[in-house]
Amino acid sequence: MTEEKKALLPYGTSPSFPAIEVTYTAEWDGHLAGKARDTITARAEEIKTDYSELSQLAKDTEFVNAIEKRFEVQVGKDYYVYERERGLKFLSIIAPHEWTVATKPHQYHGWFRLSPDGTWIRNPE
């Protein structure tokens, strides 16, 4: 057997070599368990965040899809949702700062962009 292979054996290759004893395995097991727990906890938090974001995306998409549109919407364009005094919501290409005092809608509900997959993404203000 070559010297390189002997160095990789988990035991001594000669009777004069001391016995190899593995000690403190409980500490190592505890370390591995802690590492696994931390990994699982971090992944669970990621899943929780992903679920929250996906849930908000579904709500926003349902909200905008329920609004009557009087024009053809295009992917990648910005749209703004407003509400008239009578409670009727509408989609517009006019940004909030572009309205005059006389024409400004009653309430502003957000800025959205249509994505290629058909979902409506709310843009941060």
Q: How many CA atoms lie within 13 A of 67 on its CB side?
A: 26
The CA radius of gyration of the chain, in Å to the nearest whole number, is 31
- pLDDT band, residue 3 (cuts 50/70/90): low
Q: Are 69 and 91 in contact (CB under 8 A)?
A: yes
**Residue 116 to residue 41: CA distance in whole angstroms:** 33
pLDDT tens sequence across 83-110: 988 889 999 999 999 998 888 888 999 9
pLDDT digits (tens, 9 = 90+) for 4-14: 677 667 666 77
The H or E element containing residue 53 is helix 25-65
SS3 25: helix
- Mean pLDDT rounded to a whole number for the chain: 87
- How confident is the model at residue 76, as a pLDDT? 93
